[in-house]
Structures are given as C-alpha cells and as structure tokens.
Amino acid sequence: MEFLKAVSSSEALAMINSFRADPEKETVAINDALHRILAEDILSPEDIPPFPRSLVDGFALKVKDIQGAKETAPLFLYVQGEIRIGEAASVELEDGKCVYLTTGAMIPEGADGVVMQEFVRAAGDAIEVTKTLHRGENICFRGEDIAKGAVILKKGGRLSPFDIGALSGIGRPAVPVYKLPVAGVISTGDEIVPVEEAPPFGKIRDINGHTIANLLKGNGAACTFFGIGKDSVGSIAEKLQLARASDLMILSGGSSKGQRDYMADAITRLGGEILFHGINIKPGKPTIFGKLWGKPVFGLPGHPNSCAMVMMRFVLPLLRKLKGEEGYREKKAAGILSTNIPSTSGIEEYVKVTVREVDGDRYVSPVFSKSSAISSFVGASGYVIVPEGKDGYEKDERVEVYLFE
C-alpha cells in the first residue's frame, strides 16, 4: 500500500479556493429567486416611500404649536380634516391646526410631526395634546427607507425573503442571478447497493450518494446522480465520462490509495490532474482534489462520517464560489465544554457536538463516533475543530462550535 502525503487543511483550502469560477447569469422572477445569488448590484430607481407617511394613527401637526404640552397643561389644536391611507394629501396644514391620519397615510404639506392618538383628548372640533414632540417624530420621510439611486442589494449576496420584499418595493419583478452550478455525484464500491435494494450479506446501502446530493441541493446546487461505480479504474472512469458536462464532480468511496482504491487512477487516466491526495485531518484524511476537463473533481472517503465532514469543510466552500456567492459567514456559537475532548496530536480533528442552554449558559458535549457512523450526525448541533498543535480540550474550557445549518 502507498502511504498518503497529506497537506494541511489550510493548504488544501488554498488549492481549492484557487480554482477559477466564472458562473453564467440568468434572469428569474423574484418569486423564483429565493436563496439565489445576485449577479449584479441592485439600485433603487425611486425613493421609498415616495412620499412622507405617518407611522401611527394620530394627528399631523406643526411641532412648534405644541411645545410645552403635557398631561396637566395640554395645548389645543383645531382639526382641519383627515387623510386616510391611499389618499393624496390635498390640504396644506395651517398654524394652530392638525389633520387626522391613519397609519401609512400621506403627511400634509406644512406638518413636521404626528402625535399618537393615545396622547390626545377630543374636545369638540378640536383636540387637547398632552405630549410634546420633536421634529419628524412618527414620520417616515420620502426616501428614508430606500433612497433613489442607492445600492440596496449587492452582487454576490444570497437573496433572503426580506431581500425579495425590498425588490418588490422598488418594482423589480425579476432579477439577474447566477445560474445554479450542476454537480455530478458518483458513489463507488463493490459493496454498495442502491437504497431501494435489500443488501445481500456483506454489502451495504449507498449512504454517501444521498448525503452528498442533499448537502449540495441545500446549498444551492443542481445535482445529478450518476449511480454506483465498481471498484475498477474502468468502471469509475466510465461514470466520470457520464458526469463530464457537470460543473463539479464528486466521487465517494475508494480514495485511500490502497490496493483496491482506483479513484485517483481513473482521474489521471482521463487526463486529469491530482492536486492533492490526503489532508492532515481526522476524519477525512484520504481526500482527493484535482482537475478534470478543466473542472474541479473531489474524491471523498467512503466512510459516511468522513465523507460528510469533508463535504462541509472543503467541498461547500468551493460550491459557494462556483455559484458566485460572496461574504458567506459560517454560523458559530461559543459554549462551555461539559467533558474533555481528547485529540490525536499533530492532526486537525473535527468532533461533532451537541449544544444545550442551561440558565443562560451554553454547554457543549462531544458526540464520539467512528468514521463509518452516519447516525452520529442525527441530533448533533455542530462540530468543534481541534487544531493540529493542540492536544484536545478540557472540561469547562470555552470552545467555538461550527453549527450545522
């Protein structure tokens, strides 16, 4: 058996991130744009709101007319009229008068404040105001929400439901986004059978193909599964040929450079280049990354735990680049360890954990498992990284948890 010459995790990520990505654009309706990546900055063509609006039910007035007003010494204003939401303000407010407004109604010319109706008392055709206001109180001015010409959404951002709301507010029924990258997924191994089959004794169902595909779909990729390849260079090469049109190819199974592992040989036989074979991490050491037909190709370990961890730490960052996403931040949380986490010295280790809150404090507990145990992800909250130069963590030490999304 040939031993792996492993690179560090930072070296692996540097090689992965050096891969050039130039995603194509397309225009989609905003109701189809959720979680898509913007391909251009979005500028507002108009002021939002397009006119000053009341933020409350109350009375528009001139602030100077009620200076010093309080509960024990109210000031009187005559009611000049009313404006309801959806109506144009056709009156100009006179000194010593007010206009009744509903929430969202247009502010009349001359008004510079709105007193909530909770702070007024009716007095025939007038009101008593029991509270002093400052200029602009309870008013959303023209362009205060979004100014005309302002960049409201930046290129490379992932569209949220609130972003979609902002787009509808400025009258954008469609937006330019990057096309979804298409990932080709291949499982390998003589011992693997499709999920719908009852495995004969000595064989197991394909876990990795479905885990990989759904991690990809959940992170904004289209995905095509090209089935299960046998443990031979020819079979794996045949599957890779089927996936040739994909933007990213991911194999799982034989990547450990053992006697029966043919993944790297299949890539090179087809004219590809292996950039690294092995990362100094646990789990997931025998990971392959290379180029084939000018496209990135990963060979992931066959053990489900290892495969899933490598997907999250090394494959998904490249996927975000391929789909044009910028400014992504991993979700993290700090917590207190409930027990020790031992580690293998000299290797970067990923330990799955659960997180629970007790009396306002966040406690972190390790979930120890072997690399073949996919069930360890069920119920886990995230994982902790133990760096190469650290011999684990001790109970009550504060750690940072990378949360599963």
379, 351: one domain: yes
CA–CA distances in Å: residue 20 to residues 220, 244, 291, 323, 395: 18, 18, 11, 12, 43
pTM of the model: 0.85
Question: Letter for the amino acid at 166?
Answer: A
What is the predicted pLDDT for the residue at 259?
42
Domain hosting 124: range is 53-140
Q: Can you give the CATH number for the domain in which 31 is found? A: 3.90.105.10
Residue 331 CB coordination number (10 Å) = 10
Q: Can you give the CATH number for the domain in which 221 is found? A: 3.40.980.10
314, 194: one domain: yes
Domain boundary among 322, 343, 372: 322
Domain boundary among 255, 288, 322: 322
Q: 118-154 burial string, b = 16+ CB within 10 Å, else e?
A: ebbeeeeebbbbbbbbeeebbbbebbebbeeeeebbe
Q: Most distant CA pair in the chain: distance in Å?
A: 97
255, 312: one domain: yes
What is the predicted pLDDT for the residue at 262?
87
84, 124: one domain: yes
According to DSSP, residue 22 is labeled: -
Token couple for 205: 């169902």
- Distance separating alpha carbons of residues 92 and 89, to the nearest angstrom: 8
Question: Which backbone phi and psi does 119 adopt, to 5 degrees?
Answer: -110, 25
Residue 257 predicted with pLDDT over 60: no
Tally of domains within the chain: 4
339, 220: one domain: no
Residue with tokens 């909250």: 381
Does some domain include residue 239?
yes
119, 18: one domain: no
Does some domain include residue 2?
no
Does some domain include residue 4?
no
What is the predicted pLDDT for the residue at 389?
87
- Distance separating alpha carbons of residues 113 and 234, to the nearest angstrom: 78
Does some domain include residue 20?
yes
115, 159: one domain: no
351, 397: one domain: yes
pLDDT tens for residues 68-100? 999 999 999 999 999 999 999 988 999 999 999
pLDDT band at 370 (very low <50, low <70, confident <90, very high): low
pLDDT tens for residues 142-163? 999 999 999 999 999 999 999 9
Does some domain include residue 1?
no
Question: Letter for the amino acid at 195?
Answer: V
Sign of CA dihedral 329, 19, 377, 342: negative
311, 210: one domain: yes
373, 392: one domain: yes
Interval 206-229 mean pLDDT:
96
- Distance separating alpha carbons of residues 49 and 32, to the nearest angstrom: 25
Does some domain include residue 343?
yes
Residue 258 predicted with pLDDT over 60: no
Q: Can you give the CATH number for the domain in which 102 is found? A: 2.170.190.11
Domain boundary among 161, 178, 195: 178
pLDDT tens for residues 48-57? 999 999 999 9
Does some domain include residue 65?
yes
Does some domain include residue 3?
no
121: which residues sit within 8 A by CB, 6+ positions away? 74, 127, 128, 130
Q: Can you give the CATH number for the domain in which 386 is found? A: 2.40.340.10
340, 281: one domain: no
78, 134: one domain: yes
Query: Do residues 175 and 42 touch, judged by C-beta distance below 8 A?
Result: yes
